[in-house]
Amino acid sequence: MAGHGGDGITFAHGDSRATTGADLPAAGFDRTAREALEAEQLAPGATHSDGAGNRARAEEPDPWRTCFERDRDRILHAPSFRRLAGKTQVFVFPDDHQRTRLTHALEVAQVAVGIARACRLNVALAEAIALGHDCGHGPGGHASEDALTPFVNGGFDHAPWGADVSLASLNLCEETLDGIRNHSWSRPAPSTPEGEVVSWADRIAYVCHDFEDAVRSGIVTPAALPRIVRERCGDRRGQQLGTFIDALVSTTLRTGRIGMAEGEAEALAAFRASNYEHIYLRPSSVAQGEAVVRVLQALVEHFGDRPHLIPSAGPDVSGLSGGEPGAVHAAVAYVAGMTDRFAFSQAVALLDWDPSKLPVGIGVTGRF
């Protein structure tokens, strides 16, 4: 079906009757109009789109989207974002009801957008950072960082790797890249309040949903929830998310700083510590992580010695010889971009890996 036409216009439905109204300005709600609205509505310390948008390679502004809306759209369409659907959040080879790295990113974005909107910050920037924050993750969860660290000067950290390697081709704005690069609490503070919002949103989201996944999978029982969390935040994920978000928003509005009231922050810290003890660092989790490390390191060594086998759609390997630093870097970039299933199948197909020594879908990998 080609649509329904008449008088030089085509409609999706034969009985289409929706209208925007006769008074809509001819220019619509374009970028310039939205930037002007930001100047009126955003908090004084928020990141404004007008005057931002500095990119490594200069580009003409988009007529309809602000610079950060453009970044958000680019990330949504990026292969590294789509591949998060096949990467471990906590469970290797998750079932239909367990989070993947992609669904985690979406939940972080939902939390970050809610906080940013309530605090009159730049929603598009917060959403772009949140959607892109984990695009640097390798397959197999955080164990991939241990696996890839020996091959990278200074070690492999998914946060700067995502900004500087995985998403480099998108030519994102400095503010977006900074938020992605520094979203981890072990990193320097992001330069924008939106970046700091994502740092909190990431922790709030994964602490709550990782516990829910573990309960549903029988790894822990609901009784493992720390008493301080149950008493201050409730025993259901929705209650917990609401409590943590409200505590962050109310504290930020009261103080002008991106922070959480001490009582709820104490509960969040206890929740995370409990997850480490009962989920991330349980013996089977550690064993799964060790299996991931062995597979990924073998793949990097294989492709680092044979850069000509890296597909042309991957890193540029023209003129590289096996074993040289550039070849190893290209191999790390290629392996880090793999989904779990592709990485493990490549180990079997190319390295004759014993399938019984691969990670399996009933365990979890550690978080660091």
Neighbours of 306 (CB within 10 A): 15
Q: What is the dihedral of CA 263, 268, 269, 271, to 10 degrees?
A: 130
Q: What is the dihedral of CA 181, 182, 187, 189, to 10 degrees?
A: 150
pLDDT digits (tens, 9 = 90+) for 137-175: 999 999 999 999 999 999 999 999 999 999 999 999 999
pLDDT digits (tens, 9 = 90+) for 181-235: 999 999 999 999 999 999 999 999 999 999 999 999 899 999 999 999 999 999 9
Are 299 and 335 within 8 A, CB to CB?
yes
Q: Say what the pLDDT of residue 23 is.
A: 64
Map out the domains of the chain as residue ranges.
68-141+158-282, 284-357
Q: Say what the pLDDT of residue 26 is.
A: 61
User: Per residue, what are the HEC states of 137-170?
Assistant: CCCCCCHHHHHHHHHCCCCCCHHHHHHHHHCHHH
pLDDT digits (tens, 9 = 90+) for 79-138: 999 999 999 998 777 777 789 999 999 999 999 999 999 999 999 999 999 999 999 999
User: What distance in Å separates the CA atoms of residue 122 and residue 192, rounded to the nearest whole number?
Assistant: 10
Mean pLDDT, residues 255-277: 97
Q: Say what the pLDDT of residue 48 is.
A: 96
Provide the residue count of the chain. 368
Q: Say what the pLDDT of residue 5 is.
A: 83
> Using alpha carbons only, how large is the chain's radius of gyration in Å?
23
Burial class (CB in 10 A: 0-12, 13-18, 19+), 103: middle
Q: Which fold has domain 68-141+158-282?
A: Hypothetical protein af1432 (1.10.3210)
- pLDDT exceeds cutoff 60 at 367: no
pLDDT digits (tens, 9 = 90+) for 311-340: 976 787 888 899 999 999 999 999 999 999
Are 229 and 270 within 8 A, CB to CB?
yes
